[in-house]
A and B are shown apart, each in its own frame.
Chain A
Amino acid sequence: MANTYTLISSNTLTTTTSSVTFSSIPATYTDLKVVGSTRSSTSDQTLLYRFNASTSNYTSKYLGGTGTAAESASFTTLTAGAGGTWGRIGNAGVNASTTTATTFSNWELYIQNYASANNKSSSFNSVTENNTTAAFAELDAPLWSDTTAITSVGFAVYNTGSFVQYSTFYLYGIKNS
């Protein structure tokens, strides 16, 4: 049977880390999927990303629920503790340090036709659940308006946040033939 859904790389953090990057991604797949489970070292809870270490041309539309309301917003870029400007995927995506202890978010970023010469449309969904009033479930439409093939994908937390120990990141490649 065709080997079409392949784990390319994974990273389970053994210490607090400001950013995580998958680099040297081969162009031999059709789509990429990154699955994460993350928690922040601070009250910052917004997941940021970069393709090919680029700091520009990111936009995203957010659709989410907080437990009390449904909402939508548009995002561009933010500054991460890891340094510099990153694309903002959505509203949250990372459990803040102020949420219920030992609780990590779950999220999935689907990157379509990552090696094509088109702009890169992705789909992101996440839950940042915790045992208090506010939590987030969201769906986002990130767009990187760049026609360069993606060879690296990086993640960071907004402002001074870092990913804590036991945060996990899995990168899969999916082939359509």
Chain B
Amino acid sequence: MAAGSTYTPLATNTLGSAAASLTFSSIAGTYTDLVLVMSARTDNTGAAATYCIRYNSDSSAIYSLTALEGNGTAATSERYTAVSYAESGRLNTSSSSNTTPNLSIVNIMNYANTTTYKTALTRSSASNETYAVYAEVTLWRSTAAISSLLIYPTSGNFVAGSIFTLYGIAAA
């Protein structure tokens, strides 16, 4: 492929101050897949924090997910059905070194199609936290094209300096 022709940054947001949520809106339907890359922490003081995503700000209970996670000692799996969000990964918290963000990569497939439900895959590295390694598959039972992503921590705020970038991948 021609270098760079199919992997396009749609928007990036580096938080200048703490924020309870972040939204990518008006996402064009001209790509095949979306990739969200996050470098973030929360100001939550707990040992293990998570973040969630809602598509098109939809808070109805039509999300489900299956997660696999490791804490450095044991591997566990969890399953949620009929929830109102896609709990998409782990975050480093204020108990972490203040120079250690987590890394999350979320692949959202066929986000613009209007005939099938939407699935996403997440890889999350929160290396300082209780649940350090996290992989997840998410289902949003809607045929609506995804035009916005609402991202928020389950408690606290994203700290200043957190970086969120959304890429579009075109199949051709």
**Does B39 contact A113, Cβ atoms closer than 8 Å?**
yes
Q: What's the nearest-Cβ distance from chain A to residue B61, in Å?
A: 28
A134 close to chain B: CB less than 8 A: no
Q: CA–CA, A121 to B162, complex, Å?
A: 13
In the complex, the answer to whether B39 meets A74 with C-beta atoms within 8 Å is no
Looking at chain A, what size class is its interface with the partner chain?
Answer: 35 or more
Q: How far is the CA of A123 from the CA of B132 in the complex (A)?
A: 11
Would you call B103 and A122 a contact (CB within 8 A)?
yes
Interface residues of B in 113-139 (CB under 8 A from A): 123-128, 132-135
Contacting residues, chain B, for A1 (C-beta < 8 A): 4-5, 8
Min Cβ gap B124→A in Å is 8
- Write out the residue numbers on chain A whose beta carbons fall within 8 Å of the beta carbon of B101: 112-113, 118-119, 121
A59 contacts B9, C-beta separation under 8 Å: no
Segment 1-51 of A: residues with Cβ below 8 Å from B? 1-7, 30-31
Instruction: Report how far A118 CA is from B69 CA in the complex, Å.
Output: 25
Q: In the assembly, what is the distance between CA of A141 and CA of B90, in Å?
A: 11
A113 vs B162: C-alpha distance in the bound complex, in angstroms? 11
Docked-complex contact A121 and B103, CB < 8 angstroms: yes
The interface on chain B, measured as residues whose beta carbon lies within 8 A of the other chain's beta carbons, has a size of: 40
Q: Are B3 and A7 in contact (CB under 8 A)?
A: yes
Q: Is B74 an interface residue (CB 8 A)?
A: yes
Interface of A is mostly: strand
Binary contact readout B41-83 vs A (1 if CB under 8 angstroms, 0 otherwise): 0000000000000000000000000001111111101000000
Q: Is the CB of A72 within 8 A of B163?
A: no
Contact yes or no, A177 B12, CB < 8 A: yes
CB-CB nearest in chain A for B6: A5
**Distance of A113 from chain B, by nearest CB (Å):** 6
Given contacts A1-B4, A110-B105, is CB(A62)–CB(B100) below 8 Å?
no
Q: Could you say which of B4, B71, B103, B123 contacts A3, with CB atoms under 8 Å apart?
A: B4
Smallest beta-carbon distance A107→chain B, Å: 13
Please tell me if the beta carbons of B125 and A175 are within 8 angstroms of each other in the complex: no
Evaluate contact between B133 and A140: CB separation under 8 angstroms: yes
Partner of B75, one of A7, A71, A142: A71
Given the interface contacts A72-B70, A176-B165, does A145 sit within 8 Å of B100 by beta carbon? yes
Tell me if B127 and A60 are in contact (CB < 8 A): yes
Query: For B165, what are the chain A residues with a Cβ–Cβ distance below 8 Å?
Result: 30, 176
Q: Mark A138-167, 1 if CB is under 8 A from B, else 0.
A: 011111010100000000000000000000
Selected A-B contacts with CB under 8 Å, 26 pairs: A1-B5, A4-B9, A4-B167, A6-B3, A6-B4, A31-B37, A61-B125, A64-B70, A70-B68, A71-B70, A72-B133, A113-B39, A117-B99, A118-B39, A119-B97, A119-B101, A121-B92, A121-B101, A121-B127, A123-B124, A139-B133, A140-B125, A140-B133, A141-B103, A141-B132, A142-B125
Q: How far is the CB of B165 from chain A (nearest CB, A)?
A: 4
Question: Do A4 and B4 touch across chains, with their CB atoms under 8 A apart?
Answer: yes
Query: When the two chains form their complex, are residues B9 and A176 in contact, meaning their CB atoms are under 8 A apart?
Result: yes
Q: Are A118 and B133 in contact (CB under 8 A)?
A: no
Contact, CB under 8 Å: A72 / B74: yes
